């Protein structure tokens, strides 16, 4: 039985009537740019994220980029981030003209190791950009403590973690900026590209709204050189339907994770570690095995969807070859990149499909 890594057609089938109606509604009112759905969604995401303001933008990448810009990060500045994430977590830093400064990750959660941040701080450091990888929030208390001590801005990359929780707080609400992606494969995904920044700061809210709209408040009178980076009304309409199901879908992902955890317990397959402070929403279910090549060959042969998140830690990327990093600098992330593989965990995954995945993974890697 073929098992996809993700199947969005199934999700659409469960909410088709509502989605179709929402999309039609946008065509009927014709306000395609910053229409009423965008404002409604901004309010809803701000509530879900327990933040004051939400600002819809064109993608998760732009959410990060505009946050850095709103914080005034630019040439000569340094921004600390872990070296193990989707490329956008670091490309946005480079694109402002600032320099990304990498730290290694925690072996069990793949998130930034907070104990390494202090050592990476220099007089040029302006911000810390922690990533909540795979749906689990980074250890934010020590990160915020370090940031406050050194007066640094914190930008949470919560692209994979909308509604994930850390202690009594929620992803995106702890730093100065919380950045979400609505890329179709995220827990809350639209029908194309989309993103949002949440913040509690009125000043940042104003700056972000200008930056997404060419840099102006008053049309044709830019106060800064901004971007064209808006969330489409059509995408917001789709997301307004889907956000009602976010908790239910996260619960389904968690149930699948528990089943995998039980099936792989006591074997050589290392399952995701959930910290006791964490409500993990499993955008990915990522295992570590000793024989990844063999396992991937078996998954491929059995047509079971899988992928490596992520094959190259940032310090070894071709585009960063002129930075002063080398292999061996960040052993934990290097080891992770050589041994992780993510397997299907989307909400609509069936029992039979999951049993099939379990059987193949155990046969090869247990
Ligand atoms: C998806 C993702 C992004 C970028 O979001 P886009 O909407 O694709 O631009 C940034 N960071 C992380 C960790 C992501 O997973």
13: pLDDT strictly greater than 90: yes
Q: Does ligand 1 come within 6 angstroms of the Cβ of 85? A: yes
Distant-in-sequence contacts of 313-322, Cβ < 8 A, 24+ apart: 313/83, 313/84, 313/102, 313/337, 314/81, 314/83, 314/84, 314/85, 314/87, 314/90, 314/100, 314/102, 315/83, 315/102, 317/87
CB 171 within 8 Å of CB 132: yes
Q: Are residues 140 and 283 in the same domain?
A: no
Cα 267 to Cα 211: distance, rounded to the nearest angstrom: 51
* DSSP code for 220: T
> Which residue reads 């039980």 in tokens?
262
Question: Considering its fold, how many domains does the chain have in total?
Answer: 2
Residues with Cβ within 8 Å of 88's Cβ and at least 6 positions away in sequence, in order, are 60, 61, 64, 159
122: pLDDT strictly greater than 90: yes
Mean pLDDT of the region 54-77: 98
- Rounded to two decimals, the pTM is 0.98
Distance from Cα 88 to the centre of ligand 1, integer Å: 6
Mean pLDDT of the region 171-197: 98
Q: Are residues 290 and 232 in the same domain?
A: no
Q: Are residues 100 and 231 in the same domain?
A: yes
In CATH, what number is assigned to the domain containing residue 308? 3.90.1150.10
Report if residue 3 sits inside a domain: no
Give the ligand 1 atom nearest the CA of 183. Answer: 7
- Of residues 25, 49, 70, the one with CA closest to residue 229: 70
Given 196, 212, 244, the domain boundary residue is 244
324: pLDDT strictly greater than 90: no
Query: How many angstroms separate the first and last alpha carbons of the chain?
Result: 21
At residue 116, the pLDDT reads 98
Distance from Cα 219 to the centre of ligand 1, integer Å: 30
Give the ligand 1 atom nearest the CA of 85. Answer: 13
Kindly report the backbone phi and psi dihedral angles of residue 332, in degrees, each rounded to the nearest multiple of 5, phi listed first: -70, -45
Q: Where are the beta strands (DSSP E) in 29-88?
A: 53-57, 78-82
165: pLDDT strictly greater than 90: yes
Distance from Cα 161 to the centre of ligand 1, integer Å: 10
366: pLDDT strictly greater than 90: yes
What is the percent of the chain with per-residue pLDDT over 70, rounded to a whole number?
A: 100
Task: Tell me the pLDDT tens digit for each residue of 198-229.
Answer: 999 999 999 999 999 999 999 999 999 999 99
Q: Are residues 121 and 12 in the same domain?
A: yes
In CATH, what number is assigned to the domain containing residue 111? 3.40.640.10
Q: Does ligand 1 come within 6 angstroms of the Cβ of 344? A: no
Q: Are residues 271 and 185 in the same domain?
A: no
Range of the domain at 71: 8-244
Q: Are residues 221 and 260 in the same domain?
A: no
Atom 2 (ligand 1) nearest CA: 159
Distance from Cα 158 to the centre of ligand 1, integer Å: 8
Average pLDDT of the chain is 98
């Amino acid at each position: 039985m073929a098992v996809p890594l993700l199947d969005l057609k199934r999700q659409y089938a469960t909410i088709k009537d509502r989605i179709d109606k929402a999309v039609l509604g946008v065509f009927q009112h014709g306000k395609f740019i910053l229409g009423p759905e965008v404002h409604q969604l901004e309010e809803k995401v701000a509530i879900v994220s327990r933040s004051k303001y939400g600002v819809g933008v064109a993608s998760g990448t732009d959410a990060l980029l505009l946050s850095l810009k709103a914080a005034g990060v630019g040439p000569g500045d340094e921004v600390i981030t872990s070296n193990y994430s989707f490329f956008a977590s670091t490309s946005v830093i480079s694109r402002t003209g600032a320099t990304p400064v990498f730290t290694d990750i925690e072996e069990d959660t793949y998130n930034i190791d907070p104990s390494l941040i202090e050592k990476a701080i220099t007089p040029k450091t302006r911000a810390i950009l922690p990533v909540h990888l795979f749906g689990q929030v980074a250890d934010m208390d020590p990160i915020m403590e370090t940031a406050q001590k050194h007066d640094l801005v914190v930008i949470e990359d919560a692209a994979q973690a909308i509604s994930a929780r850390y202690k009594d707080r929620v992803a995106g609400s702890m730093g100065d900026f919380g950045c979400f992606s609505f890329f179709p494969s995220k827990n809350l995904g639209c029908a194309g590209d989309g993103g949002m920044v949440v913040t509690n700061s009125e000043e940042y809210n104003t700056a972000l709204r200008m930056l997404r709209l060419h840099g102006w408040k008053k049309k044709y009178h830019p106060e800064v050189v901004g971007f064209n980076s808006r969330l489409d009304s059509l995408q917001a309409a789709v997301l307004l339907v889907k956000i009602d199901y976010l908790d239910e879908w996260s619960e389904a992902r968690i149930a699948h994770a528990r089943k995998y955890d039980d099936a792989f317990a006591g074997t050589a397959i290392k399952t995701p570690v959930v910290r006791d402070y964490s409500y993990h929403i499993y955008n990915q279910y990522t295992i570590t095995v000793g024989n990844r090549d063999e396992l991937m060959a078996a998954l491929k042969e059995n047509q079971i969807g899988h992928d490596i998140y992520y094959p190259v830690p940032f310090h070894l990327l071709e585009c960063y070859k002129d930075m002063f990093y080398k292999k061996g600098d960040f052993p934990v992330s290097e080891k992770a990149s050589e041994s992780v593989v993510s397997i299907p965990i989307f909400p609509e995954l069936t029992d039979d499909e999951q049993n099939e995945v379990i059987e193949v993974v155990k046969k090869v890697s247990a």
